Structure formats: C-alpha cells, structure tokens
Chains A and B, each alone.
Chain A
Amino acid sequence: MTEKGRIVKMVSQDQEEFEVEYGVATMSTLIANVLQDVSEETTTVPIPNVNAQVLAKVIEYCRYHYEAKRIDQSEEDIERWNKDFMKVDNKTLFNILIAASFLDIADLLDLGCKTVAGMIKDKSVEQIRELFCIEGDFTEEQEAKMREENNWGSEMSQENNAAQ
C-alpha cells in the first residue's frame, strides 16, 4: 500500500476511532515514528493520553495545515485560521497543549504556547491566577521576597523598553 492512500486509525482514550490520512497523521512525530516501526498492515494507533474531543481538534489542526501546505495557502490565511482555531476555553486549550506535547507536534505546541503567552502578557500575578483559576500557594511575604530577588527581570525589561 502506498503512503498516499494509506489511512491511519487513531483511537482516543475513550475508544473513539478517527480515520486520518497518512500524511496528516504523520504530522505528529510520535505517530510518524510508530508507523515507521510497524508493518504496513498496521493501521490502528492507540492514543491513550488524549480524549476524543481533544484528538478531534488536533486532527483538525493537522488536516488544515497539511492541506494548507499542499495548496500553498498564504501566510495571512494560515494565521487567521490559527487565531480562530485557538478561540477555545482554557481547559480545551490546555488539553490541546498537552496533546501536542505528547504527540510531538511542534507547530501546534508552539501555537498553543504563544496563545497562552499572549493571554499572560501585561497581566499581574493576581490576574493570571484568576484567568487560569490557579490557587496561589505563596504567602505575601514569600511573594514579596521573590519579587525582590527576581526584580532584575522587570528592571531589565524597563531598560529594554526605554532603549527601544
């Protein structure tokens, strides 16, 4: 069987099956490695760490980017699509990040991390905690001390801003 017509069945944590073209599936380095190592008759790849909802999103991403590359989609269109793709709730976003990390899809991981970084940008620690529902476990004194010990970061940042 040629790789072109090869279909890979990805099975999510909750046993849902997704039929994906070989080229799309192998955007994941992990799956590419697995498929390289098994015989061509093997078509099913269990993804035990990713649930169906998240796996569907990941496949959507891979499918779009595979096609975009094939038809030479413009950078602007891809960026716009990426932006829309990342318009999800925080829980889904985090799950996509974890899946991208597990499946070793560097572009998706990068996109997800940039999205989270964009959400963090210019926010105070309290705002970040509120945004991501994080319970702070530092006392006020500890936080103040750490801020003092690490304030070189903000000073340098201010210097950089001034220089710019």
Chain B
Amino acid sequence: MPKAELARSLGAPAAFGQSQFAFMRGHAFEARVKADGGAELLRLTHAHLGGGPEPVPGEARVPDLSAAGPEGRSARTELALREATAAGAWTLLDHPMLVLDVAGTPAFLEPDAVVVAPDGTWTVVEIKSFPMVDGAADAAKVGAAARQSAVYALALQDAAARLDPAPEVRHRVLLVCPKDFSNLPAASAVDIRKQLSVTRRQLSRLTRVEEIAATLPPGTTFDVTRSPAELTAAVEAVPATYAPECLAACELAFHCRARARAADEVTALGRSLRAELGALTTVEAALAAARGEAGDPDDPAVAALRRAGELRAEALAGGAA
C-alpha cells in the first residue's frame, strides 16, 4: 500500500521523501559494493562469516535473475539458488526476488543481495547508506535493518525447505554500510535470531488477525484515486494505535495525530503520559480530575492527578514548604 500517496490524498502529507543527494550517494555506494562481480561484497562476506575458501576476484558466479513479473523472477531466483548450492562456489544473487506467504497471500520481497557460499549456506545481505563510524552505527537504523532482513531470511528459509536436503540459511546477516566518512564499505555480521523469532510469531498470528479484515466494511479499498472523503472513511475503518513514535516511521502518522488531537486523546502527548492516566483517556477528563471536578476519588489516577494539581498550584504560588 503506497502510504505516502495515501497521506497526500488525505491532505496530511508528511515531510517524508528522499533528498536526491542521499539517493545518488546511496546508489553510488551500492553500485560500488557490488562492482567487479561482487568481489568486495564477497570478500566482506567471507571475512565476517566464512563459508568456504576465500573468494577469488572475478571468479564468482553472478547469475542473471531477470524474468517477467514477480512470479517469474521469484521462480528464476529459486532456480539460481538451487544451482548455486549445487555448484558449491561463491555466488552473488543481485536483487533476487523472494516470496513469502503472508496470511495466505504471497508477498514478493526484494533484498539487496543474497550470497551463496561454497559450503552451501545462504546469507542475506543488506546494504545501507547510514555510516558505520568506528564500528558503531545508529542503533535504531540497525534494528530496522535487522527486522527487514529477518523477513528476507524467513522467505529464504521457505525456499530452502523446498530443496532436499535443505540448505542452511544463516541466522547472521551481513550489514554493509559506508565506513566512517568515506564511501568505502564496512560490514558487520548481525545476529537476527531474535527478529526471526518475533517475525515468525507475528506472521503466524496474522492468519488469525484476518478477523481484522473481516470487520472492515465491504468494499473497503486503499485505491488512492478515490475521493478524500471515501479514503478517510476507509482509513478510519482500520483501528490505528497512534503514538508519537509513529511520526518517525509512518507516512500516515500526521493523519492519525490529527485524529487523536481532534478527539482530545491523551495519547497524542506520549505513551508514558497516557500510561499514568489509566482510564482517563481525554485531556479534558484528566484536567477535570486534577481540578477535583470529576472522577472517582478512589481511582488512583484521579487521586494522584488531584494531588499533583494541588502541589503544582502550591509551588507556582511560591509556597514551597
């Protein structure tokens, strides 16, 4: 679902989008990492994860994966994976197409690269444009990359399970980033066992969460050519749990925020604040409790707010002790 388009149509576009400077540099970096038949990428894979004898530059296999449509490309990818495993040679699959079953629907996924090592193991490679400075990188971004890689690894596991014997999909992925302030690659092996376990569980629950889809009005659609009113109705039919953290991650967050603010929801002020207030979910209800005008005094949240109101008023009036 193209969320950015949807957000624009709803009249609440976010400041998302990519600078062409970042875009160009990112592309230049990925091209550089994969240049010369993937020589540098395979060297890094071997250095961090092993997998057999050291790759010889220029001798690695880089199969052509082009085919018509996602189904064709994923079939071509599976064939290439099988051949590479049988060949027992360093193989770089550049932008393969993987398929993962999500709640009964095939989802097509395109990782940056998958490496098949001579020992027959398969490794997911993620190439990112944020830097690794002195071996450290932005933890939130690495976390996002790890979760993304876990989905690819699950799809790879499915593909592996269709072979006999099933090749091993490594639970460590290779994260490749620009080194320090340069455009040279640096790599790190990231253990994604946690993310794999969580993703696997989420996917298994998604089949049950199909009930969510069943609660949507018939004919609900996310087609962005519809009128804003229709779209709003469609989006609002999906229960969304807005929190300010969404702003950094989702194109629709400004829309959800506007909804939360219009409804006077305390959620818009942050999760920790909301958690303090228990059943008081609107700003007005909380303030009325603090003023002593409403709320059950036996509710600890009401009692605490009332006391907070008294203490705040006392301190602001200048009478400390």
Query: A and B from one assembly?
Result: no
Q: Which residues of A are interface residues toward B (Cβ below 8 A)?
A: none
